[in-house]
Structure formats: C-alpha cells, structure tokens
Structure 1
C-alpha cells in the first residue's frame, strides 16, 4: 500500500510555524516511505477565507521546499461531491434532517448546563420521518449510540471514546453548505489518504470522523496528533514571542534549511543529533518517535542553526536567498562583487541574511560619513603618514590581488617602523567607513582598487581637516 499523507490548512491567515511543522512531519512521513503528499486548502469558512491567505500558504510551502504531489485541492470546488454524499446518506438513513430551531438548541444547552450535564444535541429529530414543509433544517450524521471508537495514535497511543459521549454532528448547515468535519472525511476518502498528521486540537474531531468513514464504508486512515508549540515562557506561541508567520522568518533573514531543521527537532529526535539535512530527515523520520509533550520555541537555537547553514551551505545557494534581502534593503548589487563572494567573506560573522546584507552595503555603495567612534579612534593625526604611504603603494599595484594588498600593508608598516595595526586600522576605517570587517586584504580585494583609492583620499581629507580644526 502506498503511504499517502496530506497537509490541509484553512486560508484564514498566514502559514504559522505550528502549521509548518505539521506540514513538515506529514511531508516527511510520505517521503520517508516513498509515498505521496497532498496539499488541500480547506476553505469552507467562506467569511474568513481569503485569496491573500491562500497565496501566503502556497508561498510559505514553496519557500520551505515542501513540494506536493497532488493539489492544491480546494474544498469550495467540491461542494457538488459533498452534497452527493449527503443525499445518499439521507437516503440510506445514516443522516437525517433536523428542524430544531436555534432557540430550542440554546434552551437545551442552558438546561443541560444547569444540570451539570455535557452539552450535546438530544436527538430530537433523529427518528422523525421526513416533513413536507419549507421549514429550514440542518442535516445531522446519525452517530452510533452504543460501543466506542478506538484508534491507535502514532503520538498519543491508544485512544478510546464512547459513542454516547458524542452527539449527532451537523454535516450540512441550513444554507446547504457542508461543514468542516464532513468535508474532511469525504476528502480523505476520495484522495486515498492513509495517514493523517495534524495538531492535537483535532483529537476530539477524530472519533466523529472515524464514525462517518465507517458509515460510508470507507477505509480508516492512521492518525498522528502532534502537540502544540509553546513560547520559551511556557505560554502558547503567539506574536508576542516574535515571528510566527513562516514568511516572517524569511524576512528576518533565516534560511529555509535552518527553519526546517529547527522545526523537525521541535518534538522529534534521532539520538543526540541536532543538525539534519533533508535527506537525513527523510532517512530517519518515524511518526512513532514524535514526543507527545509540548515543545518550547527557542529563538537562540534557531539563530545557531541559521549561522551553521549560512557558513556550511554552498555560497552560491546562500547568495540566491541573500538577493532578496539586498533588494529589500535597496542595495544595488550591479556595481560590486558577486554575492557568493560576499557570503564567503562575511559568513563567519553573520547570524542572519538580513544582518549579512546590512553589513555588506559598503562593498556596493559609497558611504557619506565615517562611523563616529571608529573615526575618533583611528582617523587621527598619526594616521596621516600611514594613509598617504599605503595610498601610493596601492596605486602602484599592477595586479589587484589579496596577496599584493597584504604585502603593500606589510611594507608600509615596515617602512614606518610601526605595528600592522597602526596601518591596518586607519585603512580599515578609510575603506569601509567602520571599525570592523573581514580580513582587510580580502575586504579591499572585493571593494576594488579604484574605490579603495577614492575612499583613502576621503579619509586623508578627513584627517587633514581634523588636524587643522
């Protein structure tokens, strides 16, 4: 049997990290077993579903690289199919029309609450015959009243719910639209889903859905209900803990590899291993290894993973993701080094691609002013002679190589009989505008000979003005 899983978000908002982890686990279950992965958009909530949210979900899935084999399917395009099944169930007696008014239902709930009883529909219309009337009605599933539903959850273990605990679920509203719990059942059946991976908030829905599947004579999939993700303070993850939208992590400078690696470890493990490639995830992932305890989000761990991937992935690949941030920060990269070279030069210092982009601006654009603290410390009168001499030596270079630049700096220090720092630090501030950069010879190589000479002249003018003021 081919393993077939699905991710079925509702397009009422962005793709959040909890949903992304569920999608990842479902995707891995399919990929680890040479199965198929389906993307389904559950948009039956017509008032809250938006095209903007659909686009955000698709963008998030594509950015993460969680490719699907079928879909995206849209529930709103399958209403004819749902209504066909509902009509058949009414005919077979596994569903019935309920004419109870909203007032009656509310009164029933108040009475049950006053008695301390569980609030559920009392089956008033369950065994009544069809009415020849124009009264509005809903369609309810005739849930079994005896026995229980038992299923072995991959995460929770054995779960048993007595049928008497459940009421007759509404499967079609009074306006004729089918309800979420019913659409899910028909979709999973029609699409041949063999394993459902979803959040623990759906556990109460599962027995109801299993009973409907049984009534339809459909196969019952396996289930895995994963725990929620908490913030580092133990509360449910929310906006106050930082970014919760997947694409916000893109905007904040994280690589998809880092977020996927982090999410897979939020509730799943393979020994003590922390860093996993996608291939390793596919090789080792098993649903039964998911921890049923809630997981706490730790941003520091995510940052650590992001730094690891910025440093270890192919610079050309990282540069493709960096392009977005350069454009977002309006840095024109057409006049300067290849982005892959920037990644190689700055990877050791960068926590995020957003930081990397910001710190690389001087490779492509001239700066209006020197960083105040760096200029105050290093562009003083004593820097004049080293700057003038190194400028001459650099101008005389016929080959602009890292070795030639390094030798010129060394020779300047030797001639002036000063330490390398007395030449290097004023030079660094001159060419970058700041007091920190990668190795100076590499930095200057990437900035280019003409730009370096122009910036050194600017620094010499700055020192001269400072001396004369």
Structure 2
C-alpha cells in the first residue's frame, strides 16, 4: 500500500496557523511512510478566491519547505472531469435535477422545524418508485442533488476521534452542482480524492459534518469500504487550536498568516516544531529536528482535544532552534531580514560568521538582523544615555590610543585585537569595561554588541579605524561644548 495524503486549502486568504499544522501532519504522514504528498488548490469559490491568496499559500508552503509531489492541482482546471462524473451519477439514478427555488427550500426547512424535525430539503424532485414528479417549470435552471441513502448509517472510522456513526436520515440530498453548472465543494473533494488516490484525509475537525456526505458520494462512485486502501480513504480530523483565553484562535490573539511569522523572525523549522506539538507528543521531548518529526510522528497519537497556542512557548522554541543551528543554515533568513532593514548588498561573505557570533544572543532572526545592522550601516548617532554613562573627558584620547594601537597590528584576528585593547586598558590603569564600552559605542552607536574582539573582527580594519576617528572627534567636541 502506498500512502497518499493531501493538503487542500481554499485560496480565500493567507495560510494560517491551523492550516499550516494540517499541512504539516499530512506531509509528515506521507514522508514517514515514503508516500506522496499532494497539494491541491480548492478554488471553486470564484467570488472569494484570489490569485493573491494562491500566491500567499504557495509562498508559505515554500518557506516552510513542505514540498509536494506531482503537479499542483487546481479545481478550476478540472471542471470537465466534474461534469463527466455528474453525468455518470445522473445516468445511474444516484443524482437528480431539482427545480425547487431557494425560497421553497427555506419553506421546507421551516416546516420541518415546526414539526420538531431537522431542517432539510424534503426531496420534492427526487425520483422514487411509483412517484410522479412535478412538471419542470419553464425557464428554471435546475441544481443537481445527490441522492443520499434514505436509511442506514454512515460510519467514519476516524484515526483521531475514533469511530463516528451518523444516521443517513440526518443528511440532506446535497447539491453537487449549482444552477449555473458549477460543482460544489463536497462533490469536487470526493472526485479529487478518488482520482488522486488519496489514502488518508487529514484535516481540521470543522470538516466532520462534511465527511459522511463525502463518504456517501464515494460509495456511489466506487466499490469498497472506508479505509480499504485503493478505494475510500481513512479520515483523521484534528482538533482546533485555541487562544490563551480558551476561544478559537483568531486575529484577536495575534493569529496571522504564516509569512507574518517569518517577518517576526521565526525559523520555519522552529514554527513547524511548535505546531507539531500542538496536539501530538513523543514522550517529554519538546525540540525536534525535521528528521526527528518524520521519524516519530504518528497520526494515531494525535490527541482528540483542542490545543492552546502559547506565543511565549513559540518564542522559546525559536530561540532554541537558532542556538542549535549551524551558522550556514541561518544565512538565508539573516539575509532576508537584513534586506528588509534596507541592507542592499546581502551577499556579504561575513554572514555565516555574523550568524555564528549572534545566534546565542537572539530570540529571533529579525532581532539578529537588527543587532547586526551596525556592520552594514554607518553609525547615524550615538545613544544619549550610553554617552552620558560611559563617555568621559579622557575618552577621546583613549579612543585615539586604541585606534593607533589597532592600526599598528600586522593581523586582524581575535587574539591580537583582544590583546591590543587590553594593552591600552593596562597602560591607562583602567578596567577592560572602561575601555571596551566606549569602543562599543564608537563602533555601533550603543552599549550592546557582541564581545569587543568579535565586533572588531566582523567590522574589519578599515571601518573600525574610521569609526574610532569619527567618534573621538565627536566626543571631544561634545566634552568641549
């Protein structure tokens, strides 16, 4: 048996956190079983689907590196196939044309409510043995309805929730094609899953109500039982993600599109690590590499209850991943964030070294880029509080001495640089901090940076000497004034 999963977003907005977790679970199940992962864009809602949303979803999937197999499928490119299957169902008596207006259907539902029954379409146009159908009204384009079984039950052997049984009498005769001929969501999904050989449908539990309808359409099209692999798929409905207040995660909790998390400085593997743990566990392990997620993930171990999104926990996971990453693996995100801060040339060969120096000091890649800007941009101003605290009357002369000592060095390595700064401090009977902080302010504009020797190495000889000259003059002028 070859496992085939799919992620099938509707392009009506960005890829949100819940969708990303669903995609991740589907991707992991396929990759763990050496199966196929299908990406399908369910864009039949032409009023709400946009090209911008499609691009946003594809960008997010690419950034997360949730790679798909085969081509990307678009439902709007499969209308011919859907029409073919609808004609098949009509020919077999498993679907029928319905001429009831929306107002008439609503009246049927109101009447059912008045009788204390579940509101639904009453089957006026459904062919039945011995039943005479009304004469089709002139000038009315019918919808196509699926003839749902009138008795029996539909069983969903859910891999997360356990077996779910729905009486078919609870189900409506679903519209599978609108009056204008466009097919509907629940029908298209079935045809797609059937044609693409999907073996496992992993999706949010807001789809539970759709599943029995889809299973009945499946059974009308294929032979076999749910989960017999090769015909009908298994289902796994994963629970929703809640905000800290216990309500469904939404924008008011800060829930935004996946790419917004990139803008905030999260690593893709860190975000996936956090998402995989929202509903699944492997012992007490919190931090997972991508390979470990593939190795250990089991859809059957996904919990049935909702999970709570914790921004602080996500930040901790991200910081842990940054610290554990090889510097070269951080360069891509560092480059991206530097460009957002206006650094035009992000091909700098120092980026891996910068990442190595900064990764133990930063919680996000945005923070790393921001704290590294002094390496790419001239110091525009010196932080007033830092100047007031650390710049004394003798500081300009000390900086000039540091500048001359550094200029005399044959090499520009950490050991030599640290020794030179130390020599100036000792010659002036000062502690290292009394010399290092003015140097830091002169080079970066503020009192915080990597170690002085790291800062000097990364900034380089030419820029260091120029900034020390400028700062000494600026501080001398400041003290004189």
Q: CA deviation at 1:163?
A: 0.6
Q: Distance in 2 between matches of 1:454 and 1:164?
A: 82
Provide the residue aligned with 1:118 in structure 2: 118
Q: Distance in 2 between matches of 1:104 and 1:449?
A: 83
Provide the residue aligned with 2:228 in structure 1: none
After superposition, the Cα gap between the structure-2 partners of 1:248 and 1:121, relative to the gap in structure 1 and judged at 3 Å, is same
CA contact 1:243–1:249 (8 Å) conserved in 2: no
Provide the residue aligned with 1:181 in structure 2: 186
Q: Deviations over 1:64-111 (max 9, x none)?
A: 111111231111111111111111111111111111122211212222
CA contact 1:98–1:126 (8 Å) conserved in 2: yes
Q: Deviations over 1:272-327 (max 9, x none)?
A: 00111111111111111001111111111111111122222121121112111111
Provide the residue aligned with 1:154 in structure 2: 159
Q: Is 1:294 matched up with 2:306?
A: yes
**Pick from 245, 252, 269: which aligns with 2:264?**
252
Q: Distance in 2 between matches of 1:283 and 1:260?
A: 14
CA contact 1:381–1:466 (8 Å) conserved in 2: no
Q: CA deviation at 1:423?
A: 1.2
Q: Secondary structure at the match of 1:136?
A: coil
After superposition, the Cα gap between the structure-2 partners of 1:156 and 1:335, relative to the gap in structure 1 and judged at 3 Å, is closer
Provide the residue aligned with 2:466 in structure 1: 454
Q: Is 1:22 matched up with 2:17?
A: no
Q: Secondary structure at the match of 1:381?
A: coil
Q: CA deviation at 1:243?
A: 4.3
Q: Secondary structure at the match of 2:90?
A: helix
Q: Is 1:362 matched up with 2:374?
A: yes
**Pick from 222, 227, 234: which aligns with 1:217?**
222
1:195-206 counterparts in 2 under 5 A? 195-206=200-211
Provide the residue aligned with 2:98 in structure 1: 98
Q: Distance in 1 between matches of 2:195 and 2:396?
A: 79
Q: CA deviation at 1:129?
A: 4.8
Q: Secondary structure at the match of 1:93?
A: coil
Q: Distance in 1 between matches of 2:84 and 2:252?
A: 45
CA contact 2:397–2:472 (8 Å) conserved in 1: no
Q: Is 1:351 matched up with 2:360?
A: no
Provide the residue aligned with 2:452 in structure 1: 440
- Give unpaired runs (5+ residues) of structure 2: 224-230
Q: CA deviation at 1:436?
A: 0.9
- Give unpaired runs (5+ residues) of structure 1: none
Q: Secondary structure at the match of 2:71?
A: strand
Q: Distance in 2 between matches of 1:29 and 1:223?
A: 12
Q: CA deviation at 1:142?
A: 0.7
Q: Is 1:138 matched up with 2:150?
A: no
Q: Secondary structure at the match of 1:408?
A: helix
CA contact 1:383–1:422 (8 Å) conserved in 2: no
Provide the residue aligned with 1:305 in structure 2: 317
Q: Distance in 2 between matches of 1:396 and 1:332?
A: 32
Provide the residue aligned with 2:227 in structure 1: none
Q: Deviations over 1:99-126 (max 9, x none)?
A: 1122211212222333443111111111
CA contact 1:315–1:341 (8 Å) conserved in 2: yes
Q: Is 1:170 matched up with 2:184?
A: no
Q: Distance in 1 between matches of 2:349 and 2:114?
A: 74
CA contact 2:343–2:376 (8 Å) conserved in 1: yes
Q: CA deviation at 1:162?
A: 0.4
Q: Secondary structure at the match of 1:149?
A: strand
Q: Deviations over 1:120-171 (max 9, x none)?
A: 1111111255956543211111111111011210110010000111111111
Provide the residue aligned with 1:235 in structure 2: 247
CA contact 2:379–2:443 (8 Å) conserved in 1: no
Provide the residue aligned with 1:87 in structure 2: 87
After superposition, the Cα gap between the structure-2 partners of 1:437 and 1:395, relative to the gap in structure 1 and judged at 3 Å, is same
Q: Distance in 2 between matches of 1:160 and 1:74?
A: 32
Q: Greater CA deviation, 215-224 or 113-122?
A: 113-122
Query: RMSD of aligned C-alpha atoms?
Result: 1.5
**Pick from 382, 390, 405: which aligns with 1:393?**
405
CA contact 2:339–2:346 (8 Å) conserved in 1: no
After superposition, the Cα gap between the structure-2 partners of 1:131 and 1:192, relative to the gap in structure 1 and judged at 3 Å, is farther
Q: CA deviation at 1:356?
A: 1.0
Q: Secondary structure at the match of 2:284?
A: coil
Q: CA deviation at 1:335?
A: 9.2
Q: Secondary structure at the match of 1:177?
A: coil
Q: Distance in 2 between matches of 1:337 and 1:87?
A: 62
After superposition, the Cα gap between the structure-2 partners of 1:165 and 1:362, relative to the gap in structure 1 and judged at 3 Å, is same
CA contact 1:336–1:364 (8 Å) conserved in 2: no
Q: Secondary structure at the match of 2:476?
A: helix
**Pick from 267, 270, 274: which aligns with 2:286?**
274
Q: Secondary structure at the match of 1:387?
A: helix
Q: Distance in 1 between matches of 2:144 and 2:476?
A: 87
Q: Distance in 2 between matches of 1:251 and 1:447?
A: 26
